[in-house]
């Protein structure tokens, strides 16, 4: 979507007749973001502005984020929308906003910093953590985990799966997932929808897979930095944000980032740990790769959690090429029970478990 300076914006939307509808123009959208007009709503206007090509949209979003009189839900939305704007400017704004004490707003700030933050952001998160609680703390810890993996920094490690934490599924059980190389049109649409550098990495449309099962469909888009011949050697010595998983909205054909694939060298030489988290920080899959003679054999399994179902995937990784030999899921779902409210329980058991430790001393 692109908002121009014209008074109206024509946007094609799916419909019976396939006719476009008219959206407010840039002037009206910016006025709605400020709360000067009632149509569209401020929440809708923030979304429209974030998706626009207006070069200074991050300033309008910053104004909402810093407005102490604005509702927390709108300030939260402004925070999580900032990464779609200028990433460098967004990071600077969000780092300054780590001083905000409103828990809901701070949760949005931390969540957004995980997508665009660098070393300065990681320093700000570490300073804020001792006085941060609940949902904001959970997102702060996950943001630190993302930044450490994206930059290959020591500390902030995802915990290794405990004994019995993975859901077991026999090799001959479960239904095969439909997985194949993503057609070029699918890969290009996914890259377009996720943005030029989602979570601070460049996606490689030529190194992607699409998947489909009874529950959902989507794509796994790999970090271009780990599609070269030296990728395995690099993964064996530093943390990495290896790929992004995206879910497809079958009604519109659009893709939304849903999960991140993180890797880190294991304590045992020749092994690489794999941890897959939803974008809210909850860990959903875990596994490892065993490296020998310049090639790796990897496997993933679902982590036990409320509503989880068995999943097994395995394959090889060599010369930057990822192969999936098996992907299957079961129908058994772990019994759902009423969870502890996050504001009360996050401090002792946040989504995805608390990350282990800060950065190692210099």
Of 331 and 257, the structure prediction assigns the larger pLDDT to 257
For residue 84, what pLDDT is reported? 87
**Residue 191 pLDDT > 90:** yes
Q: Which structure tokens are listed for 279?
A: 């974008």
Please report the domains of the chain, with CATH numbers, ordered by start residue: 8-13+20-151 (1.25.10.10), 175-334 (no CATH)
For residue 341, what pLDDT is reported? 54
For residue 189, what pLDDT is reported? 95
CB 286 within 8 A of CB 301: yes
Q: Which structure tokens are listed for 249?
A: 């909205």
Per the listing, tokens 């849903």 go with 258
Q: Which structure tokens are listed for 354?
A: 């608390």
Of 57 and 85, the structure prediction assigns the larger pLDDT to 57
Beta-sheet strands, E only, within 125-216: 175-176, 178-181, 203-212
Rounded-to-integer distance, Cα 259 and Cα 281, Å? 9
Rounded-to-integer distance, Cα 108 and Cα 278, Å? 16
**Percentage of residues in the chain having pLDDT higher than 90:** 69
CB 79 within 8 A of CB 94: yes
**Which range, 23-27, 53-57, 314-318, 358-362, has the best average confidence (pLDDT)?**
314-318
3-state secondary structure of 216: coil
Of 163 and 345, the structure prediction assigns the larger pLDDT to 163
Q: Which structure tokens are listed for 17?
A: 């007749």
- Mean per-residue pLDDT over the chain, rounded: 86
User: Tens digits of per-residue pLDDT, 90-134?
Assistant: 999 999 999 999 999 999 999 999 999 999 999 999 999 999 999
User: Tens digits of per-residue pLDDT, 258-293?
Assistant: 999 999 999 888 999 999 999 999 999 999 999 999
Provide CB contacts within 8 A for 110, sequence distance 6+.
Answer: 98, 125, 128, 132, 136, 139, 140, 142, 143
User: Tens digits of per-residue pLDDT, 9-50?
Assistant: 333 333 334 433 335 589 999 999 999 998 899 999 999 999
Torsion of CA 354, 282, 107, 249, to 10 degrees: 170
DSSP strand pairing (240-249 vs 203-212): unpaired
Query: Whole-prediction pTM value?
Result: 0.83
């Amino acid at each position: 979507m692109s908002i121009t300076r014209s008074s109206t914006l024509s946007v094609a939307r799916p419909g019976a007749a396939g006719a476009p509808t008219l959206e407010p123009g840039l002037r009206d959208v910016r006025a709605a973001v400020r709360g000067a007009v009632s149509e569209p709503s401020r929440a809708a206007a923030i979304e429209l502005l974030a998706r626009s090509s207006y070069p200074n949209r991050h300033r309008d979003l910053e104004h909402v984020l810093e407005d102490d009189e604005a509702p927390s839900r709108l300030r939260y939305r402004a925070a999580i929308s900032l990464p779609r704007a200028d990433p460098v400017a967004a990071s600077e704004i969000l780092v300054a906003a780590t001083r905000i004490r409103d828990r809901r707003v701070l949760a949005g700030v931390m969540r957004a910093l995980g997508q665009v933050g660098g070393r300065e952001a990681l320093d700000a998160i570490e300073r804020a953590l001792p006085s941060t609680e609940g949902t904001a703390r959970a997102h702060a810890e996950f943001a630190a985990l993302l930044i450490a993996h994206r930059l290959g920094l020591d500390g902030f490690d995802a915990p290794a799966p405990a004994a019995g934490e993975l859901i077991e599924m026999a090799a001959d059980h479960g239904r095969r997932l439909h997985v194949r190389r993503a057609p070029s049109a699918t890969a290009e649409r996914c890259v377009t929808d996720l943005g030029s550098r989602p979570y601070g990495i460049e996606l490689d449309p030529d190194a992607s897979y699409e998947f489909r099962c009874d529950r959902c469909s989507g794509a796994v888009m790999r970090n271009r930095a780990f599609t070269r011949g030296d990728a395995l050697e690099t993964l064996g010595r530093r943390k990495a944000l290896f790929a992004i998983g995206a879910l497809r909205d079958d009604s519109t054909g659009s893709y939304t980032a849903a999960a991140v694939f993180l890797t880190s060298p294991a304590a045992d030489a020749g092994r690489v740990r794999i941890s897959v988290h939803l974008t809210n920080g909850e860990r959903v899959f875990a596994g490892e790769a065993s490296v020998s003679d310049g090639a790796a054999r990897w496997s993933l399994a679902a982590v036990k959690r409320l509503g989880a179902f068995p999943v097994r995937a395995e394959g090889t990784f060599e010369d930057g090429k990822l192969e999936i030999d098996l992907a299957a899921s079961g129908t058994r779902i772990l019994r759902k029970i009423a969870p502890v409210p996050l504001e009360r329980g996050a401090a002792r058991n946040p989504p995805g478990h608390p990350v282990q430790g800060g950065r190692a001393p210099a």
